[in-house]
Structure 1
Amino acid sequence: MRAVYQSLMAAARAHARWEIETSQVILRDRRKLLILFILTLPIIIPAIAFAAGALPDFIGSKSAFGPSHYTPTIFYGSILVGVCAGLITGCIGAGGGFVITPALMSLGVKGILAVGTDMFHIFAKAIMGTTIHKKLGNVNLALAVAFLVGSGLGVTGGGVLNRALFNYNPVLSDFVISSVYVVMLGFLGFYALYDFMSSRKARQQGAPGGHDDVHGGGSGELTAVARKLQSVNLPPMIKFDEDIVPGGRRVSAAFVALCGAVVGFVASILGVGGGFLTFPMFVYGLGVSTFTTVGTDILQIIFTAGYGAIAQYAVYGYVFYTLAMGMLLGSLLGIQLGALTTKCVPGIYIRAFYAIAILAGFVNRLFALPEKMAQMGYVKMDAATGKLIANIGAWIFFVLVAIFALWIITAFVRNIPRMRAESAMAAAGKE
């Protein structure tokens, strides 16, 4: 279990590093900032018109043909969601995307729309600030192609299933998405809390704290599963890691495509990049080095999110453009603040807040289930009680995330003089 958790955390950290690099590329490029401003004009102009009471019916009102109606409150709320997700990503160094879909659903956005919008937000960020050229040196082309073939099939399957569930029963669709998040966030959150408690105990006793580095799949020993799969001669075979292991290693393209199908399916169901599954599958399942896995993972995130967002959700009307742009704006700010805060906050506290943030998402979706089950007739509960339980979960979630965000921002503001002094000393040392 610990090995799985460590690999999931390694995947989250790799995705966070990519998000930080991407946001920095966007913010440092005036042309990309101009493009971002142009992209937000269709949102800003209606917001001004709405405030003046002149918003026409065909632009997102309740009578418009679309899955959600537009209000400035929804847009501003999406910015705050993006800021919080960005703070988690930048400060903790692990993906904050896990909280986006639960947060949007708590704001009243349908699950399928939250999933499609989150994927579109990931894709928009990747296209605007992609740093994939920096990672091409550790991408094995054959591995990437086989993985993306499987990923395309998986994303298609996930998108078809999500749309079928929504068309059959929108409540059932929300229930399924929430249930998957409950299982995933519950595992990550409780194990993260256990890892934090173990690390703090070890620190108090003077022993080395638990670390989250992932071993295996590099030049070390392979897992039993990896040895078994690499021993299967099922053409076409893919050779990889020649620069790391003498003679390299080989695995069937069928197994790589199967991993891609699983990652793509889960990513399409949850609206995430899928990197949290790529790592354990590649490193522990296929025996691929972490070095090669990072490059392949960044590549697959761009293609998986792009194909899923456009072909499986946007063309069917399940992408809320307003929210996607709001989250993009918020996350760019949040990631930068979070990344700067890590320089002045002890790592063990960052672990604790990561566990709390993940568990907040777990509680949020768990408390939403009774209302959905009552609406489908699975349990007897009056509507007011179900709504109250869901609201309690939403308040717990937003209060905990707000406390976390406030803590990061406060730590950042308090340490501005210190960071300026360190920057000045570094600049003086270069002269």
Structure 2
Amino acid sequence: MESLNFIQLDMVNALYLFIVGFVGGLVSGFIGSGGAFVLTPAMMSLGVPGIVAVASNMCHKFPKALVGALKRARYGQVDVKMGLIMGISAEAGVLTGAHFQELIKQRFGDIGSNLYVSVAFVLVLGIVGGFVMRDTIKTHRAGIAEEEKPGRLALWVQSIHIPGTMVYFKSINTSISILFTLPLGFATGLLAATIAVGGFIGVPAQIYVLGLNSLMASATELVIAFVMGLGGTIKFAWSGYVDIRLAMIILAGSLFGIQLGAIGTTYVKPFMIKLVMGVIMLTVMVSRALVIPVYLSQLEILPPMDPTTMSLLKNVSFLVMILALALGAGIIVTALIQGRRAARLETLRKPMAIAVKPTV
């Protein structure tokens, strides 16, 4: 294997990664997607090769996911059986995707790895993020944000009975054939090994294909993330692609953020989770799209690009990513504050209502 030169870390970069880890953990605890769709670009913006960013992200991901899953399990939001079954099939996807990552790195070097990860981000974020945002706006305008019901696809999946493959899941109070869950889990793991986060497929798949509500899907995804993250870390570390320094700094910040994000889910309406997911996905998509021409030029697929233009695109990409972090954190914190305020007022109203209740 080609030797890797991990980046130099100073106090400024370490502090930056800690803050990014905190925001990533905040997002992870809130929507269950791992937050790696901001962490991977954040590390790449410091000059970390794409495959190292993905591998180091997976390394920090599985202990953080375990903490988040345990936290949200206390609120009754986790379907452990669903998480383990999909997690096992996701592990197969991770091993397949990791092998493909290594082949790209060996054939095209760091630039090829960066281009592959960035293109994957743009395609997945554009498709899934656009769908989630459209569904969020439609649901909110229809005035049915208080209650989530399975869509037509989920109802169809739940109606299919294949003998010998049916498994009961408490989150949807019905049985589903594992022939539906296995490919969804594999696709989740395959994407996780590509960009270090499978929640882009895992969470929407559980919502729109299997019929879980947003809270259960985002919490159950943390169980899947733990299972596939553990295996992915071993696979990438065996080949020498994990930078343990990056993983530990990000993990330190994430462990604080994920607690706050998990608490926030108890105070918000389900559609707010979709809103946060959609906003961050589409913003990060723009960030990654801006640097794709740079990588294409470096690989000589496009004509040579002026160094000033390349630097400008990279800087704008970085600023847009910071905007994604700020938007996600801002929405979550605002929703948390408003939710806690509403809960406190409701608590105060109950004793008052009892006090003024007329006696017979």
TM-score range, shorter chain: 0.7 to 0.9
For residues 194 and 138 of structure 1, do their structure 2 counterparts lie closer, same or farther at Cα, with a shift above 3 Å needed?
closer
The alignment status of 1:222 with 2:156, answered yes or no, reads yes
Give the Cα–Cα distance (whole angstroms) in 2 for the partners of residues 289 and 350 of structure 1: 13
Provide the C-alpha distance between the structure 1 equivalents of 2:259 and 2:169, rounded to a whole number of angstroms.
37
Distance between the aligned counterparts of 2:165 and 2:269, measured in 1?
Answer: 43
Structure-2 change in CA distance of 1:71 and 1:175 (3 Å) = same
Whether the aligned pair in 1 keeps the contact of 2:26 and 2:257 (CA below 8 Å) is yes
Aligned to 1:357: 280
Distance 1:91 1:423, change over 3 A: farther
Cα–Cα, structure 1 residues 324 and 415, in superposed 2: closer, same or farther, change >3 Å? same
SS in 2 for 1:157: helix
Distance between the aligned counterparts of 2:259 and 2:114, measured in 1?
32
Structure 1 pair 314–266 and aligned structure 2 pair: CA distance change class (3 A): same
Residues 391-420 of structure 1: per-residue CA shift (max 9 Å, x gap): 21221221453365467668878999x699
User: What CA deviation, in whole Å up to 9, does each residue of 1:195-244 have, x standing for no partner?
Assistant: 455456x3xxxx515578351699x84249x73xx44x6xxx33322879
Q: Say whether the 8 Å CA contact 2:34–2:199 is kept in structure 1.
A: no
Q: CA deviation at 1:171?
A: 0.9
Q: Which moved more, 1:375-384 or 1:398-407?
A: 398-407
AA at the equivalent of 1:362 = M
Whole-Å Cα distance in 2 between the matches of residues 424 and 293 of structure 1? 28
**Aligned-partner residue type, residue 270 of structure 1:** I
- Once residues 155 and 331 of structure 2 are traced to their aligned partners in structure 1, the CA distance between those partners, rounded to angstroms, is 41
Q: Pick closer, same or farther for the CA change 1:244–1:255 going to 2, 3 Å.
A: closer
Give the secondary-structure state (helix, strand or coil) at the position aligned to 2:165: strand
Question: How much does 1:306 deviate?
Answer: 0.2
Structural mapping, 1:14-25, within 5 Å = none
RMSD of the alignment, in Å?
4.6
Cα distance, 1:129–1:409 mapped onto 2, change above 3 Å = closer
| Residue of structure 1 in register with 2:106 after alignment | 167
Query: Do residues 262 (structure 1) and 197 (structure 2) align?
Result: no
| Structure 2 counterpart of 1:181 | 121
Cα 1:262–1:377 shift into 2, 3 Å: same
Q: Is the 8 A contact 2:290 2:317 kept in 1?
A: yes
Question: Residue 378 of structure 1 aligns to a residue in which SS?
Answer: coil
Distance in 2, matches of 1:383 and 1:180, equals: 25
Cα shift at 1:330 = 1.8
- With over 3 angstroms needed to count, the CA separation of the structure-2 counterparts of 1:130 and 1:388, relative to structure 1, is same
CA distance in 1, matches of 2:270, 2:176: 38
Q: Is the 8 A contact 2:69 2:223 kept in 1?
A: no
Q: TM-score, normalised by structure 1?
A: 0.63
Q: Distance in 1 between matches of 2:84 and 2:11?
A: 41
* Partner residue of 1:154 out of 93, 96, 115: 93
1:49 is matched with: none
Aligned CA distance change for structure 1 residues 267 and 94 (closer, same or farther; 3 Å):
closer
- Which residue of structure 1 aligns with residue 250 of structure 2? 327
1:39 is matched with none
Q: Measure, in 1, the Cα distance between the counterparts of 2:102 and 2:114.
A: 11
Greater relative contact order (Cα < 8 A, sep 6+): 2
Distance 1:358 1:381, change over 3 A: same
Q: Is the 8 A contact 2:25 2:256 kept in 1?
A: yes
Structure 1 position 422, deviation (Å): 6.0
Answer whether contact 2:34 2:61 (CA < 8 A) is retained: no
Contact 1:157 1:265 in 2 (8 A): yes
> Corresponding residue for 1:271?
196
Kept in 2, the 8 Å contact 1:139–1:292? The answer is no
2:53 corresponds in structure 1 to 114
Spell out, residue by residue over 1:117-147, the C-alpha distance to the aligned partner (whole angstroms, 9 max, x if none): 1111111224567629878995449x946x5
Contact 2:117/2:194, CA 8 A, preserved across alignment: yes
1:394 paired with 2:318, answer yes
Distance between the aligned counterparts of 1:296 and 1:411, measured in 2?
21
- Percent identical across equivalent pairs? 26
TM-score by length of 2: 0.74
Contact 1:363-1:393 at 8 Å conserved across structures: yes
Q: Which has the larger radius of gyration?
A: 1
